[in-house]
Structure 1
C-alpha cells in the first residue's frame, strides 16, 4: 500500500473578480506558493475552500503543515487597534478570520507553520504584535515596495541585504551571517509579538524573519518571498526543505496514531 502524500494546507484569498460592473467572489491561491510546497518541500499543497475558524481542529488533523502565503491584501488594522490608513489598498476580512485563529491553533497543536509576507504579518498580529501600515512613510525606514510596473524577474530580484541573529537557524540555512533577499511589501512589523523572536533584520532595522518561541516544531516566518523559484536560490530552497522535513515528521506521527486507533477499534469490535 502506497503511503499517502504529505499535505500542507494553504488558506485561500477571497477576492472579487470581473469587469463591466459585474464581479463574482473567487477563492485564489498563487501558483508560486503551491509550487514551492510541491517542489521545495516535497509535499502536496491542499486547500479547504470556505473553511471557517470553527473547523480548524478537524481540518488540522488531516494535514501535516500549514503555509500562510503572501497576498495583494493586507491584514485589517482593526486587529491591532488602528484605523485603515489607505482605503485604496485591498483587505481580506474573511482570510483574517480564518488565519489569525489558525496561527494560534498551529502553535498550540505543534503543527509545522511557515509564514511568508502577509503570512508573516498574520502570525505577528495573531500573537499580539502590531504593524506599520505604510513602512515607507515611517521616518528612518526604507521603501520596501517592489517596482510594480517592472517584469516579475525584476520585482523578485534581490533588493537589499538582511543580517541574521548570530547562531540562528537562518544563518545556517543561508550559509553565513548575511544574505540578499527580495522585497515586495508595504506593511511591516512595528511591535514584535512577545511570543516571537526576531531572526533577521533589514539595514533599517525592520524585522525580516522570526521564530515562534518555544515551538515544538518548525514555526518560522519571513517578510521576503522565498517561494519565488525557490529551487534556484540555495537559501530559499533550504527554508522549504526544512519545512518539508518537519511536515514529514508530523505525517509519520499522524499516520502512526491513525493506525493505532484502527487497531484498537478492531480489537474492540
Structure 2
C-alpha cells in the first residue's frame, strides 16, 4: 500500500431518533482521499471499543473534522451549560489524547473547525462556546435554516495571516477569505500554540504547534469544502498529505 492511512475523526449521531451511529461527512473523506492523497479511516468516538494507542499504531496522519457538538467545557476547566449542548464526550475521550500522542511522536495533525478547537484544548488552551456573544465579535455561524451548500459554505470574511509564518509562507499571501460555520472558538491558545491567523474581528482562525516534530496545524474554517478546487484548501491538504507520506516512509524504514 502506497497511500498513507489518515485517521478521520468520527462522531456520534442518532438516526431516526433510534439508531446510534459513528460517522463523518463525505467531504472530509473525499478531501483526505483526493486533496491529501491518503486512505481515509474513520475513527469512532467509542473509548470502550478503541484506544488512542491502538489508533496511533494504525495511522500515518490525523485529520480532525468539524462537528455540531461542542468540546465539553470540563475539558478546559469551565462549567457545562444546557444552552451549549449537544456534547460528544466519547469523541473527546478519543480525540484529545490522540492529538497529544500524535504531536509527541511527530505524526502529522490537521484540524478544521471543531478540529482546531480540539487541538487547543488538548494542548492547554480554552474556548468560548458562543464567540458572537463576546464584545466586538461578529456572528460566525451559517445562515439559520439554510440548506443550499453553496450558501452555507460561502466565503464570508477575511483572515489575516502572520507575516513570515507557516501559513503565509505556504500560501504565498498574508490575507485569505474563508467560509464561517461555527459558534465555539479558541479564545486562549495557551502556551503550546502559535496563532498564525485571525479574522477581521480578531477571532483565532489558524494555529500551529511550533514545538511539534511533525506538521501540526488547525484552521477554524471548513477547508474540506471544495478541497481540490479551492487553492488555499488544496495547498493545506497537499502539505498535510505530503507530511503523512513522509511519516509513513520513516516509520517503515
TM range (shorter): over 0.9
Q: Find the partner of 1:39 among 29, 34, 37.
A: 34
Alignment coverage as a number of residue pairs: 251
For residue 261 of structure 1, what is the aligned residue in structure 2? none
Select between 176-185 and 43-52 the one with higher mean Cα deviation.
43-52
Alignment of 1:239-258 (within 5 A): 239-256=236-253
Runs of at least 5 residues in structure 1 that lack an aligned partner in the other structure: 257-269
Alpha-carbon shift at residue 85 of structure 1 (Å): 3.6
Q: 1:161 to 1:88 in 2, by over 3 A?
A: closer
Give secondary structure in 2 for the equivalent of 1:176: coil
Q: 1:141 to 1:91 in 2, by over 3 A?
A: same
CA distance in 2 between counterparts of 1:59 and 1:99 reads 10
Q: 1:143 to 1:109 in 2, by over 3 A?
A: same
Q: Find the partner of 2:76 among 58, 80, 84.
A: 80
For residue 177 of structure 1, what is the aligned residue in structure 2? 174
CA RMSD of aligned residues (A): 1.6
Q: 1:220 to 1:48 in 2, by over 3 A?
A: closer
Give secondary structure in 2 for the equivalent of 1:231: coil
1:119 aligns with 2:115: yes
Runs of 4+ in 1 over 4 A off after TM superposition: none
Alpha-carbon shift at residue 4 of structure 1 (Å): 4.0
Give secondary structure in 1 for the equivalent of 2:59: coil
Alpha-carbon shift at residue 45 of structure 1 (Å): 0.3
C-alpha distance after superposition, 1:74-117 (max 9, x if no partner) = 10111122223443632101000111111110111111000111
Q: Does the 8 Å CA contact 2:9/2:45 hold for their aligned counterparts?
A: no
Alpha-carbon shift at residue 63 of structure 1 (Å): 1.2
CA distance in 2 between counterparts of 1:203 and 1:72 reads 24
Alpha-carbon shift at residue 55 of structure 1 (Å): 2.5
With normalisation by structure 2, the TM-score equals: 0.94
Q: Does the 8 Å CA contact 1:135/1:187 hold for their aligned counterparts?
A: yes
Give secondary structure in 2 for the equivalent of 1:241: helix
Alpha-carbon shift at residue 30 of structure 1 (Å): 0.9
Alpha-carbon shift at residue 52 of structure 1 (Å): 2.9
Select between 134-143 and 239-248 the one with higher mean Cα deviation.
134-143
Q: Find the partner of 2:138 among 135, 142, 146.
A: 142
Alpha-carbon shift at residue 62 of structure 1 (Å): 1.9
